[in-house]
Structure 1
Amino acid sequence: MNEAALPRRIALIDAWRGVALVAMMTYHGAWDLAYLHLARIDPSGSMPWRIYAHVIAGTFLFLAGVSLVLATRSGFRLEPYLRRLGMIVAGAALVSVATYFAMPQGWVYFGILHQIALASVIALPFLRLPPLLTLVVAAIVAALPQVFRSEFFDVPALWWTGLAPLPHNSFDYVPVFPWTAAVLAGVAAGRLAVSHGLDRRLAAAWQPKAWPGRLLAVAGRHSLAVYLVHQPIIFGALFLVAQVLVPDAAVDGARADCVDRCVAARADEVGCHAYCRCMFEDMDKAGLMRPMLDNALTPADMDRVRGMALTCTAMTLPTPAPETTAPMERGETPPP
């Protein structure tokens, strides 16, 4: 088949990517609401939310593999490939720099753009290998971190591998193992689709006529730009809402969380309200409220907060708890 006979874009693939973008926006919006204490939800820790996030990330990576195949159907052209790769690398660098300065406690050192960029290089040999072999390698990549991790990889220069015993804090962490498996699965699926002429049939089967479909397809065609601009817009709008309409939302949300953890440990709601009121008053006087809300307490700060917790416990909840509770996180007030 000559190059002219090949469909340049497949609207259905673009729209699929557009749907993934909408899903990503809903997740990031929920995350922003939680981060700004505008809603008491936990997208980072709740299992349904985590599954939702993984499905979204997996969809983008799978489609990245499919798109790599579609872009090289007529042969590999170095210049367009390097141009696309350079744009993704630049976007990944921008995300890292922006989050390092704006949110240093969880800056993105290897997020989904970093993964797409590296996987786009890793996947190149598989564009000519049998799809079945590609799927076998994908299964190995997905399974490896489940059976092998090592302290050797627990250094900053190797965190991107995903093979350290525990992941290091980041708001978007998509390491090579296991996530490259999704890109390789996309490559295998794309190879099989092209070999059976499915790409031509899909291109002819559907073209968006109504505005929702057209909008999704346009967004999917410009997914990198949408990815880079959506979060500043959503976060900026919600930040203004938090500052103007509910300026005390962060403190109120943190205090409510404090009461919930206290009640779980003590089963004394009246005493827990007194305990959390004592803690927040003491932290405010000590200038620790803002660092606590920003998850920026230093080890010395955390020692001071623990001392306040002992004092407030003695004043409001003199009866000791039957069991010791889990250690506090940096963004939490310690349970009594």
Structure 2
Amino acid sequence: MPPVNLIILTLTNLITLSYLAPVNLSMVVTVYFLALRGAVCYSASILTNPLKKELISMQRTAQQRLWEIDLARGTALILMIIYHLLYDLSVFFNFDIAYNHGIFYLLGKVAATLFILVAGLSSSFSKNNTTRGLKLIGWGCVIYLVTSIAVPGSNIVFGILQFLGVCLLLYPVVKNISPYILVGIGAAVMLGGEFTASLSISHNWLVPLGFRTPGFASVDYFPLIPWWGVFLWGIALSKLVYPQKKGLIKSNSKLLKLVAAAGRHTLFIYLLHQPVLLAALYLIFDPAGFFNLLTSNSSGSTVH
């Protein structure tokens, strides 16, 4: 069976399994995988196109990528997945894990900081930041809608995808600024986060900037102040370290190459990892829930 078809079949089976899970999880997994299945099917149609222009373009892009940047992005992705695993175990399965403070909280912040820093760095190498930015904002809106409907109270307002999308749209404004000035602006933006966090306002219109009411809550929240400062530092780092836009590090390690490969498919893995984690954890820790839901549906009862 061709790899693309195998992926589609696997996703289809996981969608079916999601219907056996508690209703909220089922909605999350189903909506995510339907979207991802469409993306995979689109990729399959490209691969079978007789012209193959798109495939040639993708191969050239892969050859131009800097290995060490993909490695850093892949490392951030792995750290983020570990943090989300700890979060899921604590929130959904009542494990005694202090994910919101201490070493685990630091793990999440390190992952986010590295992720944003690398995003700023790699934006200097991209020629389609506007398209990428709009795509990230669009996916961020999808995640917001899914979480709002499927998991009430766990809204994601201006999460990391929407944040990065806006940063990419703002890139043309700062791309020609000296790296040293960017470092200064970035530091000022990061320090400004202390001001926005302490200021109490009566509305949430400026939530993307970091101004919010005392009762504002978002499971995943990355306001421009202070996080845009980290993105600006990434742009500055690119100007200082990669003035010729050529790679500096090479490695033959299979493990590191595997991590770098993950870094080349960040968006796909990001969209996929949380529903897969939840589905797997429910199968491990609450398999009876699948059968209970199946029995309830067959008897015509409603699951809340």
Fold shared per TM-score above 0.5: yes
* 2:246 corresponds to which of 200, 214, 222: 200
Instruction: Tell me how far apart the structure 1 counterparts of residues 102 and 227 of structure 2 sit (CA, whole Å).
Output: 18
Q: For residue 16 of structure 1, what is the aligned residue in structure 2?
A: 72
What are the equivalent positions in structure 2 for 1:133-212 lying under 5 Å apart?
133-148=181-196, 149-152=198-201, 154-164=202-212, 166=214, 168-195=216-243, 197=244, 199-202=245-248, 205-207=249-251, 209-212=252-255
In structure 1, what is the equivalent of residue 136 of structure 2? 88
- What amino acid sits opposite 1:85 in the alignment? G
CA distance in 2 between counterparts of 1:147 and 1:119 reads 21
Amino acid paired to 1:239: Y
Query: Among residues 216, 225, 233, which one is paired with 2:268 in the alignment?
Result: 225
Deviation at 1:37, TM superposition (A): 2.4
Matches within 5 A, 1:39-78: 39-44=95-100, 46-71=101-126, 77=127
**Conserved? CA contact 1:142–1:177, under 8 Å:** yes
Partner amino acid, structure 2, of 1:150: L
Given that 2:129 and 2:171 are in contact with CA atoms closer than 8 Å, whether structure 1 keeps it comes out as: no
How far off its partner does 1:38 sit?
Answer: 4.7
CA contact (8 A) 1:138 1:184 kept: yes
1:106 partnered with 2:154: yes
Unpaired segments of 5 or more residues in structure 1?
72-76, 248-289, 292-336
Please tell me whether the aligned partners of residues 36 and 242 of structure 1 are also in contact (alpha carbons under 8 angstroms). no
Amino acid in the other structure paired with 1:101: I
Larger radius of gyration between Structure 1 and Structure 2 = 1
The CA deviation at 1:143 is 0.8
SS in 1 for 2:222: coil
Aligned to 1:277: none
**Normalization by structure 1: what TM-score?**
0.63
Quote the residue 1:325 is aligned against. none
1:109-142: per-residue Cα shift (whole Å, max 9, x none)?
1111111011112332221011111111111111
SS at match of 1:107: coil
Structure 1 letter corresponding to 2:170: I
Question: 1:186-239 CA distances to partner (integer Å, 9 max, x unpaired)?
Answer: 0111111233x4x4241xx314x4432222111101101110000100011112
Q: CA RMSD in A?
A: 2.4
Q: Structure 2 unaligned segments of length 5 or more: list them.
A: 1-59, 291-302
Instruction: Quote the Cα distance in structure 1 between the aligned partners of 2:145 and 2:73.
Output: 26
TM norm structure 2: 0.69
Preserved CA contact (<8 Å) 1:145 1:163: no
**Structure 1 position 242, deviation (Å):** 2.9
Identity of aligned residues (%): 25
Figure out how many residues of one structure are paired with residues of the other and give that number.
230
Q: Is the 8 A contact 2:193 2:225 kept in 1?
A: yes
Q: Is the 8 A contact 2:133 2:167 kept in 1?
A: no
